[in-house]
Chains A and B, each alone.
Chain A
């Protein structure tokens, strides 16, 4: 069995890392290369780097930074942000990415998923699903381009369609929990799990060690962490030790 995964999720803007709250209020969060090197040294299981302005600015992700991060790490690297063609996906892999994360660009043109899967294999295609949960518990796809929820599409249908088209992994983001430290939305994970059989990485809401243990005990095997690793004295070594002591199968 693969070990459970802890995955730092880094947001990139103009060559620096930033961290926000519910996809806004971004603050500076450090140098990408130094941060990635630290996560690598501390035993992070993978790293995700998302260039948050690329899609809106209609440009490729910052490949110079991707190459530097790749050179500093010997763990898998997922890159996302503005990848809207097979050539751009290939350029990301050439810079040292192992997997491509598609979110808005896949919504815009779903065929992109199968095009990249056909060339790079489906294990290299991560589909980003951003979910906004309403006060009434209703879940909607969040659309970056408009900055609002897309009420017209059933998110579970899009999830299943993405996997059918060739996505080999899902990055499932609870948008309203991002940066709030209120804990993971494990119910969202299980909703998605019922629809697809590919690995799912859950993100959004990590704040305390207990919340990580709770999420894994609730059956979520892969967690992405942003804020929790940025603005605190937490580090991967400590988190993995706590999780392993709680009986979770972590990579030693």
Chain B
């Protein structure tokens, strides 16, 4: 199984390669639009700031390549910033237009959870899967649903696309979006590549996924 990992100069690509190796898949790390457009399966990783990431993706034509892969039905997994970039709009060091694949906007965690919330949200938080087509990506018990999060911003979107939420605490027990899914695109706010066995199982599910 070949998995194309989108390289746009930001993010911890090495960890994604490592987890794919553990899952028995071959990672093809590339920033070439034609390779991405023709990929069998795609991971859009991401650590970094949205503005500079979007600028690189657009300058190199990777947004168009991803869009054509999406239109062909290629399974795509977005991770962390790779989830946030799929929204309509991202607010971080200014406002940026995202891919618009998911309705909604990305903004500071404080906007959802209130100013009392600890931000960034860093650590292992248990997610609550929403029953639906993406349920298979997550575990069936409490232990198997702990994932590692490391982010300052989160997505606010319509409930239809939400595949999992996470209670990040604070005064009003705020829930953030932990995963979204629509057609052949699934994206997670946490880092499966840094979530030990739970993350490995999610990656294996993605490798088998027929949306």
Write out the residue numbers on chain B whose beta carbons fall within 8 Å of the beta carbon of A95.
14
Question: Which chain A residue shows the least CB distance to B49?
Answer: A121
Listed in ascending order, the chain B residues whose CB lies under 8 Å from chain A are: 10-15, 18-19, 22, 47-49, 52, 81, 93, 118-126, 142-143, 146, 148-152, 167-169, 191, 193-196, 199-200
Asked if A123 is at the interface of the complex by the 8 Å CB criterion, the answer is: yes
State whether B151 touches A123 (Cβ < 8 A): yes
Listed in ascending order, the chain A residues whose CB lies under 8 Å from chain B are: 1-3, 5, 40, 43, 45, 67, 70-71, 74-76, 93-99, 117-124, 168-169, 197-199, 222, 251-252
State whether B48 touches A98 (Cβ < 8 A): no
Cross-chain pairs A/B with CB under 8 angstroms, 21 sampled = A1-B125, A1-B168, A1-B169, A3-B123, A43-B196, A45-B123, A70-B14, A74-B19, A74-B22, A74-B194, A74-B199, A93-B47, A97-B12, A98-B191, A117-B49, A118-B93, A119-B10, A119-B48, A123-B122, A252-B143, A252-B146
Question: Which chain B residue shows the least CB distance to A222?
Answer: B123
State whether A121 touches B124 (Cβ < 8 A): no
State whether A98 touches B123 (Cβ < 8 A): no
The 3 closest A-B CB pairs, nearest first, are A2-B123, A1-B169, A123-B120
State whether B124 touches A197 (Cβ < 8 A): no
Q: How far is the CB of A89 from chain B (nearest CB, A)?
A: 11
Write out the residue numbers on chain A whose beta carbons fall within 8 Å of the beta carbon of B200.
74
Q: How far is the CB of A43 from chain B (nearest CB, A)?
A: 8
Partner of A74, one of B126, B151, B152, B196: B196
